[in-house]
Amino acid sequence: MNFKHLRQLSCIVSEPRILIHCDLDAFFASVEMLHHGFPEDEPLIIGSDPQQGRGRGIVSTCNYAARTYGVRSAMPITEAWRRCPGSPYGPGRYIRGTRSLYSMASRRVMKILRKYADKFEQASIDEAYLDITEFTNGDWDEALGLARRIKSEITDSVGLTASFGIGSTRVVAKMSSEVNKPNGIHRVLPDEIHSFFQQRSVREVPGIGPKTANRLAEWGISTVDEASELGELALARMTSERFASWLLRVVDGTTSNEVSPIRSRRSIGKERTFPVDQSNHEVVLEVLEKLTVRVMAKAREEGIAGRLAEVKLRYTGFETHTHGRSIPVAMDDTDVFLRQVRMLFAQNVNQEQNIRLVGFRLGQLEVIDHRQTTLDGIDESE
């Protein structure tokens, strides 16, 4: 075998995939601003009626201007009002939000993204993974150019901005899309993965939750490189074997690069119908959390992990909606999914209507590989 053949062979074996993670910027708020012509520098809060600071619901989401006041998703609406009061006491603009506008805008964006992907996976209403390896002939410069083109196409034709991360694994692509957010692109080449994680706080890694981060902090470890330098054994002693093995694979760029068009094949779920349609959405959220805990316990029992969290809401009159959200790697940790569920509920519940049934479903299931899947304390940092 001559050198040329050898080289070709090694390319086939080791060629990394090129993935894009696209995340729309402050999606619901941006759609509302665009639709109503609200100025960007005016704080916009979407959620339940604040009733001048006496309202009982929560914030679905808000724009960047509102975030500078400390307003956040899933925060009680009274707290949002305290931080950024509405007229005539302050600059905040409070609206209920129009769900149909979001799905319409999302469909238009996803249609654009899909055109450029060999494999495409919509991870949530405002997020998608694209495998562009074949599309770009495996060329990372081409990938950067493609991301720029897609970004301007979205802005030109839909009027929204998005942030793009380019990387060789789902985790790296997702983290990259955060780097220059909003309205930015960041690319991490395969040989830059180690330096990308250098000095980066463990909390920034999707999958590492407060519990694990705190445990590591007790040992004086706050960055990813500090954690990985410990080596698998020492890290496993501080956290768990699964976590240690997974984190080293994250830094090596060997975690999942699979982009799957099939959103869910099988699933595990539980639902509950209220004896009387429930008007108190805090009670509904409590029940939803309990269902999530039970589903995750069942999943762990069966040795199954999942990537998709799906919340089902049926309102008075049987109007039923399901809202889904994916995390980058399959996990079986309850806290991870509780966080997804709270976010999905906060962003999607119709504050106006009573709820008849609530449900949680874990989808995009994978059989747990004990060497690969993380446990305890792992969650999604958005």
- Residues catalogued as catalytic: 127
Phi, psi angles (nearest 5°) of residue 200: -85, 130
Residue with tokens 């500090």: 226
Q: In the complex with Mg ion, which residue's Cβ is closer, 249 or 325?
A: 325
The Cα–Cα gap between 19 and 58 comes to 35
Q: Binding pattern to Mg ion, positions 24-63, x when CB under 5 A? A: x--x------------------------------------
Query: Measured from the CB of residue 26, what is the shortest distance to Mg ion in angstroms?
Result: 7
Q: Considering the rule CB under 5 A, would residue 126 count as an interface residue with Mg ion?
A: yes
Residue 119 host element (H or E): strand 119-124
The values of phi and psi at residue 257, to 5°, are -120, 20
State which residue, 126 or 376, has the beta carbon closest to Mg ion: 126
CB of 347 to Mg ion, least distance (A): 10
Provide the 3-class DSSP secondary structure of residue 109.
helix
Residue 23 half-sphere exposure toward CB, CA atoms < 13 A: 25
Strand (E) or helix (H) holding 19: strand 19-24
Shortest distance in whole angstroms from residue 109 CB to Mg ion: 11
The answer to the question of residue 131 lying near Mg ion (CB under 5 A) is no
Of the pair 24, 158, the CB lying nearest Mg ion is at 24
Nearest distance, CB of residue 382 and Mg ion, angstroms: 7
Phi, psi of 326 (to 5 degrees): -110, 150
Nearer of residues 24 and 166 to Mg ion, judged by Cβ: 24
* Residues sharing a CB contact under 8 Å with residue 331, sequence separation 6 or more, in sequence order: 207, 305, 306, 307, 337, 373, 374, 375, 378
Query: Least distance (Å) from Mg ion to the CB of residue 181?
Result: 8
Binding-site size, Mg ion (CB under 5 A): 4
Cα 256 from chain centre: 16
Q: Residue 23, interface with Mg ion (CB under 5 A)?
A: yes
Map residues 307-336 to x or -, x wherever contact with Mg ion holds by CB under 5 A. Answer: ------------------------------
Amino acid making up residue 51: Q
x-or-dash string of contact with Mg ion, 69-108, rule CB under 5 A:
----------------------------------------
Q: Closest approach of Cβ 40 to Mg ion, in Å?
A: 16
Residue among 24 and 336 whose Cβ is closer to Mg ion: 24
Kindly indicate which of the ranges 36-44, 121-129, 206-214, 243-251 contains the residues binding Mg ion, using the contact rule CB under 5 A. 121-129
Q: Among residues 24 and 224, whose Cβ is nearest to Mg ion?
A: 24
CA 381 to chain centre: 7
Nearest approach, Cβ of 49 to Mg ion (angstroms)?
25
On whether the CB atoms of residues 60 and 97 are closer than 8 A, the answer is: yes
Instruction: Tell me if 301 sits within 8 A of 352, measured CB to CB.
Output: no
Q: Which residues, 6+ apart, have CB-to-CB distance to 51 below 8 Å?
A: none
Whichever of 175 and 247 has its CB closer to Mg ion, that residue is 175
Please report, as residue ranges, which positions from 192 to 231 form the binding site for Mg ion (by CB under 5 A). Answer: none
Only segment of 22-30, 94-102, 209-217, 293-301 that touches Mg ion (CB under 5 A) = 22-30
Residue for token pair 């930015």: 184
Stretch that binds Mg ion, among 119-127, 175-183, 286-294, 353-361 (CB under 5 A): 119-127
Distance between CA atoms of residues 34 and 97, nearest Å: 13
Contact 242, 300 (CB under 8 A): no
Does 380 bind Mg ion (CB under 5 A)? Our answer is no
Whether the bond between 88 and the residue before it is cis, its omega within 30 degrees of 0, is: yes
Give the span between the Cα atoms of 153 and 176, in whole angstroms.
Answer: 20
Instruction: Give the separation between CA 143 and CA 118, rounded to whole angstroms.
Output: 13
Q: Which residues contact Mg ion by CB under 5 A?
A: 23-24, 27, 126
